[in-house]
């Protein structure tokens, strides 16, 4: 562990990159996109930012530099490495629509010789390839977490771990762990964590241990409490893990950030009901991914729809409510016939949507109208936004709703759910529907298809009035909260003295 001493400097803002260090995809999802963009802008705004990560092998923190980050992250933060292979100027358009929603593998590709292989074969038959990949990635991360924890325990004791010694869930705050001999954070420092650190065993306990030793300022961002409030939408076992993590993050926080006024109310209500200490909670506004804006026509993506299309950018997830769009598109196909546009779903898929994807794959009414593409880089996403008829976002519950802001920043008309935080994102510029009222969604989408003049009028209003939020503005909000929190602690310390 490296000491955090900087002679002559009053404060260091330690930015947590623990989650980013193990990110291997070429594209960024919501949390990682937020962390990367805020970090890049904070480095421009401040000269006191340094990077750290939690090392499960040590059970402690260490300072790192940008070289430990994957190439895709370095490119976005420092602009020093290509994130993906360059896209061709004109990618070939397939002769038939290319769907990720492929038929089940043939018998010749199924594993069948051993029990484990038989189990995997059953998954292949029941799930699509993208769901299997998503699940295997989760398994790999969980295995990494477990192996690191076991290695750490074996270093402490040469004896095997008996059944009675199986690890138990950590307490809310470590009461018996002795403080480190050389604290990582000084009392004048600020620890800023925007990352998804719930998979790293011992992380909150290490923060609490260092706070007990030096009393530094801890600022955490909790995006939402979805796993706690809606465990039915999350894989089995994860709600308990993430709820414990959230309680620990709250208990460790001198200031708690979140991403909408709606979530601020949700989090404050949870804290009061849980009888936790209530730190100040502040909402920040996320950026609209203005990097997608370009004067040049983006290159043709690897999967280009061959007919007019409507765009939905979102993880395919139960709470994201693509089930609504499936039913809407069935009705549109029946009412519009050949004039029905394609629906393009852009994003990763959650393992709990296998039934929905099965229906889409095998439903002859829509299986040539609904396409799903993953691993879309920003240049391709910009093309989709620029060339779609309009966008749709049917989510039942959100912390914020980045794709709605992205759509408006591109000047594109959006039809979105009126649930949770989404009206905060779109204000009066979005046409809303009840996410549980499929006919309401159908009517608004049908109008947008049949009345292009309505879409044009709404987009003219968007271009005149919508003010995109740059990620530098988001970083400036966070930077101001950092300074205010630290100033408040210094003032309180002087008053106590």
pLDDT score, position 199: 86
| Spacing of C-alpha 389 from chain mean position | 26
Statement: residue 83 has pLDDT above 80? no
CA dihedral 62, 66, 71, 75 (to 10 degrees): 140
The greatest distance separating any two alpha carbons of the chain, rounded to the nearest whole angstrom, comes to 77
Give alpha helix (H) positions in 14-111. 30-45, 71-78
> What percent of the chain shows pLDDT beyond 70?
75
Query: CA of 25: how far to CAs of 84, 224, 304, 446, in Å?
Result: 9, 23, 21, 36
Each residue of 178-195: pLDDT tens digit?
444 578 999 999 999 999
The domain spans of the chain are 13-87+171-286+472-496, 290-466
Q: Which residues contact 234 (CB under 8 A, 6 or more apart)?
A: 226, 227, 242
Confidence of residue 131 (pLDDT cuts 50, 70, 90): very low
Label residue 472 by pLDDT band (50, 70, 90).
very high
What is residue 85's predicted lDDT score, i.e. its pLDDT? 38
Q: Cα angle vertex 427, ends 421, 433, to 5°? A: 70
What pLDDT shows up at residue 24? Answer: 80
Higher pLDDT, 231 or 104: 231
What pTM does this model have?
A: 0.79
pLDDT of 490 reads 55
pLDDT for the residue 486: 87
Which pLDDT belongs to residue 87?
A: 38
Q: How confident is the model at residue 27 (pLDDT cuts 50, 70, 90)?
A: confident
End-to-end CA distance of the chain: 32
The residues, ordered by sequence, that sit 6+ positions from 260 with a Cβ below 8 Å of its Cβ are 283, 398, 399, 400, 420, 421, 424, 425
pLDDT band, very low/low/confident/very high, at 148 (cuts 50, 70, 90): low
Neighbours of 310 (CB within 10 A): 24
The mean of the pLDDT values for the chain is 82
Using the predicted structure, report yes or no on whether residue 100 has a pLDDT greater than 50: no
- Extract the tokens encoding 186: 């000084």
Q: CATH top-level class for 13-87+171-286+472-496?
A: alpha beta
pLDDT higher than 80, residue 211: yes
**Whether the domain at 13-87+171-286+472-496 and the domain at 290-466 fall into the same CATH topology:** yes
User: In this predicted model, what pLDDT tens digit does every residue of 374-412 receive, in sequence order?
Assistant: 889 888 999 999 999 999 999 999 999 999 999 999 999
Fold of the domain spanning 290-466: Rossmann fold (3.40.50)
User: For 38-42, 104-108, 303-307, which range has the lowest pLDDT when averaged over its residues?
Assistant: 104-108
pLDDT digit string, tens, across residues 230-276: 999 998 889 999 999 999 999 999 999 999 999 999 999 999 999 99
| 342 compared with 154, residue with greater pLDDT | 342
């Amino acid at each position: 562990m490296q000491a955090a001493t900087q002679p002559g400097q009053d404060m260091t803002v330690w930015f947590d990159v623990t989650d980013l260090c193990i990110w291997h995809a070429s594209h960024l999802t919501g949390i990682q996109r937020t962390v990367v963009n805020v970090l890049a802008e904070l480095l421009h705004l401040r000269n006191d930012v340094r990077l750290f990560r939690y090392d499960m092998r040590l059970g402690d923190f260490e300072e790192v530099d940008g070289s430990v980050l994957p190439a895709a992250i370095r490119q976005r933060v420092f602009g020093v490495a290509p994130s993906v292979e360059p896209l061709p100027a004109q990618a070939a358009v397939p002769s038939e629509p290319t769907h990720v929603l492929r038929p089940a593998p043939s018998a010749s590709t199924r594993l069948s010789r051993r029990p484990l292989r038989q189990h995997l074969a059953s998954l292949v038959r029941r799930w699509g390839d993208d769901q299997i990949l998503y699940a295997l990635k989760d398994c790999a991360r969980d295995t990494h977490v477990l192996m690191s924890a076991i290695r750490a325990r074996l270093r402490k004791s040469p004896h095997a771990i008996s059944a009675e010694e199986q690890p138990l869930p950590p307490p809310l705050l470590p009461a018996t762990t002795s403080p480190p001999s050389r604290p990582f954070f000084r009392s004048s420092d600020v620890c800023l964590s925007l990352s998804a650190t719930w998979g790293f065993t011992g992380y909150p306990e290490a923060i609490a241990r260092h706070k007990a030793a030096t009393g530094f300022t801890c600022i955490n961002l909790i995006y939402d409490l979805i796993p706690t409030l809606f465990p039915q939408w999350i894989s089995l076992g994860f709600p308990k893990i993430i709820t414990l993590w959230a309680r620990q993050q709250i208990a460790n926080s001198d200031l708690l950030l979140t991403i909408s006024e709606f979530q601020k109310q949700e989090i404050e209500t949870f804290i009061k009901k849980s009888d936790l200490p209530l730190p100040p909670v502040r909402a920040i506004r996320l950026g609209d991914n203005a990097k997608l804006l370009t004067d040049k026509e983006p290159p043709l993506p690897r999967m280009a729809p061959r007919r007019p299309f409507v765009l939905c950018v979102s993880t395919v997830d139960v709470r994201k409510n693509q089930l609504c769009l499936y039913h809407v598109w069935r009705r549109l196909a029946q009412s519009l016939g050949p004039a029905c546009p394609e629906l393009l779903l852009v994003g990763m898929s959650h393992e709990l949507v296998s039934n929905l994807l099965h229906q889409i794959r095998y439903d002859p009414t829509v299986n040539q109208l609904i396409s799903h593409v993953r691993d879309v880089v920003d240049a391709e996403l910009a093309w989709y936004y620029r060339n779609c008829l309009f966008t749709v976002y049917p989510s039942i519950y959100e912390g914020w709703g980045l794709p709605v802001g992205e759509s408006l920043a591109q000047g594109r008309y959006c039809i979105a759910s009126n649930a949770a935080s989404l009206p905060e994102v779109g204000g009066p510029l979005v046409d809303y529907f009840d996410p549980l009222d499929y006919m309401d969604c159908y009517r608004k989408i049908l109008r947008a298809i049949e009345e292009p003049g309505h879409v044009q009028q709404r987009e003219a209003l968007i271009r005149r009035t919508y003010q995109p939020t740059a990620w530098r503005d988001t970083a400036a909000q966070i930077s101001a909260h950092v300074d205010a929190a630290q100033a408040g602690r210094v003032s309180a310390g002087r008053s106590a003295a």
